[in-house]
Amino acid sequence: MAGRLKPLAQQVLVVTGATSGNGRAIVEQAVLRGAAVVAVARNADALDDLRTQMSANGGRIVTCAADVSDLAAVERIAVVAIEAFGGFDSWINNAGIGTYGTLDQVPAADHRRVFDVNYFGVLHGSLVAARHLRERGGGAIINIGSILGDRAIVQQGPYCATKHAVQALTDTVRMELEQDATGISVTLVKPAAIDTPFPEHARNFMDQPPRLPQPLYAPEVVADAVLFACAHRKRTLYAGGGGMLSSILSQAAPRLADRIMEAVGTRAQQKPNDRGDPSRRDNLYEPRTDALRGSQDVRVRRSSVMVQVQKVPRPAISIAILAGGAAALAWATRPKWRT
């Protein structure tokens, strides 16, 4: 029988991709709730700023500059955690990068780079975390996937492919650790579109500035789901109801979802005349200016009912009602073409 996870305030968390977007929100909320944090990112200057800010408010935080595509660098993170806090209780694989453009527009080297960070970074983190947590008798590994691990979208093919791979990787890690009765909880968090600098950071091959499609949620929605998973055993958590409904629609009526993506997917991911902060553009190979939120003019939802529903001990009934409604809508509006 798996043991209970520690309350968040008694934990040490490792957070990769910690200086921007969801990672930054996770760090800020974790420190606010009393946890100690090992913040990891490529951007050493941004790490220094983050440590200064969190320490000034009484937070317990150390930093480690590392590129998660490098296994040796990821192993060094665990050493930093052990030296600073005696180890860690939860490891959050959050670092991620992306591109905008069709598959033939994105050079093969950039495809590989996205996989090096988004897939191999999660693999490296999961292996290092599992090795350490086995010795501690349990803990939590939380991998940040995406609704695009359920539903591919045009213009983000490499990113979608990595998130499908992360889902398979996470399921495999969970089964292997359960087979060995390690007591380690493994959770996949699937954010919807979140208001982070991702569109500005991504390498863009489109002829218009990229954006994330509506509805957009604040990064704190993801942080809420992740920190809940640190202290509660959950298989999967969707961060944002819009994302979950999109996933359900795709499973209930995949051809309808394809046609919708083909018709509006590119336009929904372009924001003419709003390129955002130029200092943030293209962090595929080198870090750029990091921030909690994107700098484009967008509408943002600051909370998610779906996250709160998934926190209750038996959320299946509520989620089933939502799923049934989405499936019924998909069936009622299904196209009459042949497949």
Asked whether 67 and 73 are in contact (CB, 8 A), the reply is yes
Q: How far apart are CA 247 and CA 238, in angstroms?
A: 10
Q: How far apart are CA 221 and CA 22, in angstroms?
A: 9
List residues with catalytic annotation. 159
| Residues whose CB is less than 8 angstroms from the CB of residue 68 and which lie 6 or more positions away in sequence, other chains included | 16, 17, 40, 74, 93, 95, 117, 120, 121, 122, 124, 125
Q: φ, ψ for residue 144 (rounded to 5)?
A: -90, 110
Cis peptide leading into 210, omega within 30 of 0? no
**Three-class HEC string of 251-306:** HHCHHHHHHHHHHHHHHHCECCCCCCCHHHCCCCCCCCCCCCCCCCCCCCECCCHH
Give burial (CB, 10 Å; 0-12/13-18/19+) of 256: middle
Cα 148-154-157 angle, rounded to 5 deg: 65
Q: Which of 206, 4, 191 minimizes the C-alpha distance to 89?
A: 4
Q: φ, ψ for residue 211 (rounded to 5)?
A: -150, 170
Q: How far apart are CA 18 and CA 290, in angstroms?
A: 10
